[in-house]
Chains A and B, each alone.
Chain A
Amino acid sequence: MLEVREAGLYCPQGDFYIDPALPVARALITHAHGDHARAGSQAYLTTRTGEALVRARVGDEAAIESLPYGATRRVGEVDVAFHPAGHILGSAQIRLEHAGEVWVVSGDYKLSPDPTCMPFEPIRCHTFVTESTFALPIFRWGDAAGVVREIEEWWRGNREAGRASVLFAYPVGKAQRILSQLDASGGPLIYQEAVERVNAIYRGQGIALPHATEGGDLSQALVIASPQMQGSAWLRRFGKASMAFASGWMRIRGTRRRRSLDRGFVISDHADWPGLLQAIGESGAENVWVTHGYVGALVRWLEENGKRAVAVELKLPAEEAAE
């Protein structure tokens, strides 16, 4: 039901693309991250909850239609429905059904709880298209709420030492997931602009997030900034701050040390290895298509464990796809 074209995954029976890398006539969007939602297509279809985030990404003039989770829409000859993927606000797996055959394109997903989005919903299908960002058994996440406590602890230690705490977190999803669980009473809270822009959209969808503080002692502050801000002039105002990064990649010491960070907090919006295997298992799919990430490792593992797996090479994701 799907084939790989230059712009990405294409469904001939429905004449649409899913998360195309290039402008197309009709694009179905799993979620609003830059490597999935791109500007320039003539028509978009996404989830109701995710619409505002997708719009922020593809532009005010774009023609975007949306569906509530679980609702079915016929596109061409295909029945299309969006189901929660648990990745970020409004993220979805897309279920496609045609002549009794069911495919599910997972987009990015995670199974662990996240107060800012609907939990991942397992859907039975014949073919499951999965991501593989963290598809190695070294990637195993602990309890996210516990990680947020570690962040608070780190912030407290820095306040006592009289230095600001700069936490790099991907501004769409990750930052809000942390903020929604954070005890922000410890000191001034400062958002870099990219983070606050997305915070506003989240608040618009009814997600409570702490507000930035006006003024206050910068050495006591917690600063939430996009990872791209590391080394920027903007950060200089916070003096000798402690720098930390919240990302699944922080599971590996080398990635933290290479970035010269003081701390790495292991928290990811992607499924870890056990999560990927669980989701694939629960889909009941006989065929698994594996996209961006450790594709080769996951394909080989699945094949050695009795599944039919296919490596799907999509166009290289944008820089920001790193998480």
Chain B
Amino acid sequence: MKAFAALYAALDQTTKTNAKVEALKQYLAAAAPEDAAWAITFLIGRRPKRLLESRKLAQWAMEEAGVPDWLFGECYHAVGDFAETMALLLPPAENSSALPLHVWIEERLLPLREADDETRRARLVEAWREMDEPQRFAWNKLLTGEFRVGVSQTLVVRAIAEASGIAPEVMAHRLMGDWLPSAEFWRQLVAHDTRDADISRPYPFCLAYPVEGEVEELGDPAEWQIEWKWDGIRSQLIRRQRQTFVWSRGEELMTDRFPELDALGALLPEGTVIDGEILPWKDGAPLVFAQMQRRIGRKVLGPKILGEVPVVLVGYDLLEWNGEDVRERPLEWRRARLEEMAPAGSALVISPVVRGATWDELRALREESRGRKVEGFMLKRYGSPYRVGRKKGDWWKWKINPYTVDCVLIYAQPGNGRRASLFTDYTFGVWDDGKLVPFAKAYSGLTDDEIREVDAFVRRNTVEKWGPVHAVKPELVFELAFEAIQKSSRHKSGIAVRFPRMARWRKDKRAEDADSLDTIRGLVAGHDQENL
């Protein structure tokens, strides 16, 4: 736990990627295999199922610290991180634990699963008393599972790859799928000769960069396979050893949620992996994404919802063919195999290729995006392999320009983590009948300096508070950009937008100049008549 707490502190103390990789490598080189396995499990954001409710955890920490409920709340408000708040509040540490990480997890943490609350409480207090402050913090992070420390999966992969001398692509692949942290797993992970046995394991996704500058810089359109950029759930469908697995890009196994795709898998040849997008689809065309949200959260999928919102896999690419990894073959070869294998009338729809002789012609076609419920184009270079992660050069997304609306800042609340002591989460209103109605929330798009400026404004101009939410004098106008817009009965404004963000701070505008709900309704009308 000493080494792990020190690693956490080292990762937390630098903003530089190389320094983080170096700290990870040092830790992994010195750690026992079972400790290394647990460490990376947490660092890449996996964790054992949550054992303890935050509310109880907080209760026990408060009792140990002798702090009343309301004061814990004040402290949390200042810190913005639950695990950290508890670590800072607990009575001054008198010990430091020499037990290794895996012992803490396997012998002290996991057994709590079976325990009653009284035992859990006693064990936790005992644990806190054995640890110093950095250890308590890392431990609390393990308990709460909010393990963000500015380390991405790519970075962890890079560190393990460099530490073990195994190619990062192989490492990324080995880290996917279902596995349990153990010494054995770690040995396999860094072994030079294991055949990866796990049949459910997906490949790392290839990701695209947005087109920078003018699309003409990409050369002749004929060098590119052009597809619509679909807006669904990016996923991989795997058929191996007569089993089907559906993975999301967030590495979630979703087979149970999509019986249509499970059935599709049975129609595919053995040893097949398809990269695609899951879309709600009816009568040969996509439904709005909000329809997908109706079924995605459900545990039980009845015939009604399956009938109303059926899904398909829009196939982009073929990664494994007859059990062979074909990612290094050229794009057109993979595409041809994919087209050959699509069973007629099945839930596999091959993403159509869009043709255009010139970029201008394509530009005109792209204007149809909103009507087609897509986000623009994907451009994939002919002849290119299927790469790992976000690499520049072969895959580009050429998105339509977002919608924009001028809105007024009406509520603000503090952010989380790094932004905890600043007001960074904003709600924006638009005019409706002489009043500002809440329209969208946005968190991103401002520079640090602008955030500080807005923060100062909020502090000076709060007119009312409800918990952490501050209502402010309606004065600041922002241009909000978003990708899609539709009617919604769940929103006060009657409208829901997708991916809202702050495009610009319109210091040149006054609140009166902001847009009205009517204008925005016009955008919906132009886009989508569908009733939800």
List, in ascending order, chain A residues with CB within 8 A of B420's CB.
252, 254
List, in ascending order, chain B residues with CB within 8 A of A260's CB.
15
Instruction: Give complex CA distance A284, B419 in Å.
Output: 40
Please state if B418 and A137 are interface contacts (CB–CB under 8 Å): no
Q: Closest A residue to B76 by CB, please name it.
A: A138
Minimal beta-carbon separation of B424 from chain A (angstroms): 10
Identify which of residues 227-285 in chain A touch chain B, using a CB-to-CB cut-off of 8 Å: 251-255, 257-258, 260, 262-263
Please state if A258 and B85 are interface contacts (CB–CB under 8 Å): no
In the complex, whether A300 has a CB less than 8 A from a CB of chain B is yes
Minimal beta-carbon separation of A146 from chain B (angstroms): 13
List, in ascending order, chain B residues with CB within 8 A of A138's CB.
75, 78-79, 85, 88-89
Residue from the list A254, A297, A301 in contact with B418, Cβ < 8 A: A254
List, in ascending order, chain B residues with CB within 8 A of A140's CB.
88, 92
Given known contacts A140-B92, A258-B418, A294 and B74 CB-to-CB distance under 8 angstroms: yes
In the complex, whether A304 has a CB less than 8 A from a CB of chain B is yes
List, in ascending order, chain B residues with CB within 8 A of A301's CB.
71
In the complex, whether A24 has a CB less than 8 A from a CB of chain B is no
Can you list, as one digit per residue, whether each of B57-73 has a CB less than 8 Å from chain A (1) or not (0)?
A: 00000000101101100
Minimal beta-carbon separation of B165 from chain A (angstroms): 25
Instruction: Give complex CA distance A297, B78 in Å.
Output: 12
In the complex, whether A136 has a CB less than 8 A from a CB of chain B is yes
In the complex, whether B14 has a CB less than 8 A from a CB of chain A is yes
In the complex, whether B12 has a CB less than 8 A from a CB of chain A is yes
Please state if A254 and B80 are interface contacts (CB–CB under 8 Å): yes
Please state if A136 and B418 are interface contacts (CB–CB under 8 Å): no
Please state if A251 and B88 are interface contacts (CB–CB under 8 Å): yes
Instruction: Give complex CA distance A49, B279 in Å.
Output: 75
Instruction: Give complex CA distance A296, B92 in Å.
Output: 25
List, in ascending order, chain A residues with CB within 8 A of B74's CB.
136, 294, 296-297
Can you list, as one digit per residue, whether each of B420-433 has a CB less than 8 Å from chain A (1) or not (0)?
A: 11100000000000
Given known contacts A137-B89, A258-B421, A262-B14, A252 and B78 CB-to-CB distance under 8 angstroms: yes
Instruction: Give complex CA distance A138, B420 in Å.
Output: 15
Please state if B71 and A297 are interface contacts (CB–CB under 8 Å): yes
Given known contacts A137-B67, A138-B89, A140-B92, A254 and B75 CB-to-CB distance under 8 angstroms: no
List, in ascending order, chain A residues with CB within 8 A of B70's CB.
300
Please state if B84 and A252 are interface contacts (CB–CB under 8 Å): yes
Can you list, as one digit per residue, whether each of B394-436 has a CB less than 8 Å from chain A (1) or not (0)?
A: 0000000000000000000000011111100000000000000
In the complex, whether B81 has a CB less than 8 A from a CB of chain A is yes
Q: Closest B residue to A301 by CB, please name it.
A: B71
Can you list, as one digit per residue, whether each of B76-98 has a CB less than 8 Å from chain A (1) or not (0)?
A: 00111100110011001000000
List, in ascending order, chain A residues with CB within 8 A of B85's CB.
138
List, in ascending order, chain A residues with CB within 8 A of B89's CB.
137-138
Of listed A257, A258, A301, residue having the most chain B CB within 10 A = A258
Instruction: Give complex CA distance A193, B250 in Å.
Output: 51
Instruction: Give complex CA distance A138, B88 in Å.
Output: 5
List, in ascending order, chain A residues with CB within 8 A of B78's CB.
136, 138, 252, 294
Minimal beta-carbon separation of A27 from chain B (angstroms): 26
In the complex, whether B153 has a CB less than 8 A from a CB of chain A is no
Q: Closest A residue to B417 by CB, please name it.
A: A254
Instruction: Give complex CA distance A99, B459 in Å.
Output: 41
In the complex, whether B154 has a CB less than 8 A from a CB of chain A is no
Please state if B71 and A137 are interface contacts (CB–CB under 8 Å): yes
List, in ascending order, chain A residues with CB within 8 A of B322's CB.
none
Q: Closest A residue to B80 by CB, please name it.
A: A254
List, in ascending order, chain B residues with CB within 8 A of A253's CB.
12, 79, 81, 84
Instruction: Give complex CA distance A296, B465 in Å.
Output: 14
Please state if A137 and B421 are interface contacts (CB–CB under 8 Å): no
Instruction: Give complex CA distance A175, B150 in Å.
Output: 31
Residue from the list A136, A252, A263 in contact with B71, Cβ < 8 A: A136
List, in ascending order, chain B residues with CB within 8 A of A136's CB.
71, 74-75, 78
List, in ascending order, chain B residues with CB within 8 A of A296's CB.
74
Minimal beta-carbon separation of B22 from chain A (angstroms): 11
Instruction: Give complex CA distance A253, B80 in Å.
Output: 9
Please state if A304 and B68 are interface contacts (CB–CB under 8 Å): yes
Please state if B13 and A255 are interface contacts (CB–CB under 8 Å): no
Please state if A262 and B15 are interface contacts (CB–CB under 8 Å): yes
Q: Could you list 18 examples of A-B contacts with CB < 8 Å?
A: A136-B78, A137-B65, A138-B78, A251-B88, A252-B84, A253-B81, A254-B79, A254-B80, A254-B417, A254-B420, A257-B150, A257-B418, A258-B419, A258-B421, A258-B422, A260-B15, A262-B14, A297-B71
Residues of chain A at the chain B interface (Cβ within 8 Å) = 136-138, 140, 251-255, 257-258, 260, 262-263, 294, 296-297, 300-301, 304, 316
10 closest pairs, A vs B, by CB?
A: A138-B88, A254-B420, A257-B418, A297-B74, A138-B75, A136-B75, A254-B80, A252-B79, A258-B418, A137-B67
Known: A136-B71, A254-B421. 6 other contacts (CB 8 A): A136-B74, A138-B79, A252-B88, A253-B84, A262-B14, A301-B71
